[in-house]
Amino acid sequence: MKRSAVFAALTGSFKTRLREWMRRRQGPDALPVSLERRRLYILPTRAGVAFAALLFLMLLAGLNYGNSLALFLTFLLAGFALVSMQQCHRNLLGTALVAAHAPPAFAGAAATLHVTLGNRALRPRLQLEAAAPDQPVVITDLPAAGEQQLQLPLPSRARGLWPIERVRLSTAQPFGLFRAWTWVHAPLQLLVYPRPRGALPMPVAPGNKPGTHSQGGSGADEWLTLRPFREGDSPRQVDWKAYAREAPLLVKEYSPPGADTRLFEFAQLSDPDIEARISQLARWVVDAAARGDRYGLVLPQVHIAPDRGPQQRHRCLAALAVFGQAHA
């Protein structure tokens, strides 16, 4: 057990130093990034090492017995391996990481990194692999002169703003004897919202009574946002002007005329656990956004005026996500 632990520690230390050296050598990347020759690395796979050992044994046998046919076969297979190495390197060379972004996720939920790979060559690139650090690999084929979008899994984290240090691109095609790879060090971040939890009733802003309209009492529904069309939606709510401009079929959403104005204040909560207060505020924000209410958020040194819509929901949840974190 001690030997295995020491070996694992040495392996981890070597990998860490290798990644740091690669980052210093390549420097920071700005998307889009095209994979040039100087930033690609290639080594034999386990199958490649076994194949090399087999060729060495065949060479020894051919030389020992003076068998010219065995020597011919050995050199032929060695040439095949060299061609395989060149093709593996070529399969990754010139691939472009066009774009990458990580949509916000709630704490404890699965997060994904959306990556777009591009291929300017007139030949397809087969079995390309992409992965975030220490995460499962996603394999795809890139069409000739085309692009492909991937969703890379990310580890679930606590609330906050977390950097995504690098993205790994690699390939072992053809034949799996060699693996070419590189790291892309792009300035990527993942925003993790706090987990919405809590059972306290939602407060109402001072001077506003529940059930009263907050915009002067016109009695008419207020436009809230656009969302994709779902089966059963009324054709009257479809944004036909946007559809005429070749946009997707979108539906207008309105808030009810009795929507309340609510103000969620951190100081109003008495729970000594700060994370419990953050989770309760997140619960209120999510519920108020689902109801179509106008709502605001008050944190120490942060004040978000009452509003509604997807941007307001994101503003409030983002403020809760980075609350109390100096690095954010």
Once rounded to an integer, what is the mean pLDDT over residues 120-140? 92
Cα(195)–Cα(160) distance, rounded to whole angstroms?
Answer: 11
Which token pair is 319? 């403020």
| pLDDT > 90: percent of the chain | 51
What is the 8-class DSSP label of residue 122?
S
**pLDDT computed for residue 176 by the predictor:** 92
pLDDT(148) > 90: yes
**What phi and psi values does residue 5 have, to the nearest 5 degrees?**
-65, -40
**pLDDT computed for residue 58 by the predictor:** 94
Whole-model pTM over 0.85? no
Sort 309 into a burial class: Cβ within 10 Å, 0-12 / 13-18 / 19+.
middle
Which token pair is 196? 């919405």
Residue with token string 């809230």 = 224
Q: What is the pLDDT of residues 253-288, one digit of tens each?
A: 665 555 567 889 988 888 889 999 999 999 999 998
- Start-to-end C-alpha separation, the chain: 40
Residue with token string 């899994």 = 153
Q: What is the pLDDT of residues 36-79, one digit of tens each?
A: 998 899 999 999 999 999 999 999 999 988 889 999 999 999 99
**Strand 188-193 relative to strand 105-106, pairing:** parallel
Cα(262)–Cα(281) distance, rounded to whole angstroms?
Answer: 12
Once rounded to an integer, what is the mean pLDDT over residues 160-172? 92
pLDDT(112) > 50: yes
pLDDT(167) > 60: yes
| pLDDT higher at 4 or 123 | 123
Report the number of secondary-structure helices (H) and strands (E) in the chain.
6, 17
| pLDDT higher at 233 or 87 | 87
**pLDDT computed for residue 216 by the predictor:** 40
**pLDDT computed for residue 231 by the predictor:** 61
Which token pair is 239? 């944004």
In the chain, where does DSSP find H-type helix? 2-26, 46-65, 68-92, 240-244, 274-291, 310-321
**Mean pLDDT over each residue of the chain, to the nearest integer:** 84
Asked whether the CA dihedral 297, 302, 306, 309 is positive or negative, the reply is negative
**pLDDT computed for residue 25 by the predictor:** 74
**pLDDT computed for residue 318 by the predictor:** 94
Helix (H) / strand (E) containing 140? strand 138-142
| pLDDT > 70: percent of the chain | 83
Phi and psi based region of residue 226 (left: phi greater than 0; alpha: psi -120 to 50; beta: remaining) = beta
